[in-house]
Amino acid sequence: MKNGLLILAMIAALAACQKKSGEAPPADTGSSAAPSAQAPAPAQSAEPTQADRERAQKQAALDYATMEDSYLNDPKGQWAKEATASSVFGETGSSGASDVNKPQNMVGKPDGRQWTNDHQDMGFDSFEAAFEKPVHGTEIRVVFNAGSEAVSKVEVKGVDGAYTTVWSGLNEDAADSRGPRHWFVRKFNATSNPIQSVKVTIANTVERGYKVVDAVQLVGE
């Protein structure tokens, strides 16, 4: 019986030795491990060439021309038939205001004839443009040659004589450098009352210098 137990113990010990010898060695986690691959650095973009800059300028001019043409030929747009203003350049001088600066120059399409105000950096000025056909307005466009950033309020006057403010605040639209004019554009919900005129107020201290306007357009049906 003792011999049998001894034989069984020897067999168990031999099996244990065989199991240990067959185990795989632990993975080496030391410094000898291969480093992970690093992502390549992004390629730096090349500086634009003179040809690139000239092409970009031409593209900007083309974009401006396309935009302006769509405004000039808008079938829903109409140009002012009459205009008045709170001040005119030269009116406080000894010789008075010249016709080249009076608000009547804002009548019709842009043509180089302009209204100029009489204040560079003091108080507020305003101008009002009247239109031939009262419409339910949705947009106003003003052609500026200078001072567009000073616009602070846009009001519309209905056929009932009441004024409604459709926009007010700080105008953060930078003057358009792509073309010779800046189009100040404000869209609004269609007015329930047909519009017969538009009044634009300018805060002279916001943008120093004289304010120069060529034309005013109302869009609506």
Q: Does residue 57 lie in a domain region?
A: no
Domain count, the chain: 1
Q: Does residue 27 lie in a domain region?
A: no
The one-digit pLDDT tens for each residue of the chain (221 residues) are 444 444 444 545 545 545 444 454 555 555 445 555 666 666 666 899 999 999 999 999 999 999 999 999 999 999 999 999 999 999 988 778 899 999 999 999 999 999 999 999 999 999 999 999 999 999 999 999 999 999 999 999 999 999 999 999 999 999 999 999 999 999 999 999 999 999 999 999 999 999 999 999 999 99
Residue 108 domain boundaries: 77-220
Classified as helix, coil or strand, 83 is strand
Q: Does residue 170 lie in a domain region?
A: yes
* CA dihedral over 133, 136, 142, 143, signed as positive or negative: negative
Q: Does residue 51 lie in a domain region?
A: no
Classified as helix, coil or strand, 105 is helix
**189 φψ region: left (φ > 0), alpha (ψ -120 to 50), beta (else):** beta
Q: Does residue 88 lie in a domain region?
A: yes
**Interval 130-164: pLDDT, tens:** 999 999 999 999 999 999 999 999 999 999 999 99
At residue 2, the pLDDT reads 44
Q: Does residue 48 lie in a domain region?
A: no
Q: Does residue 203 lie in a domain region?
A: yes
pTM tops 0.85, yes or no: no
Alpha helix positions (H), 42-153: 50-72
Measured distance CA(172)–CA(64) in Å, rounded: 19
At residue 37, the pLDDT reads 61
Q: What is the CATH number of the domain that holds 203?
A: 2.60.120.260
DSSP type of residue 187: E
Q: Does residue 115 lie in a domain region?
A: yes
Measured distance CA(91)–CA(183) in Å, rounded: 27
Classified as helix, coil or strand, 148 is helix
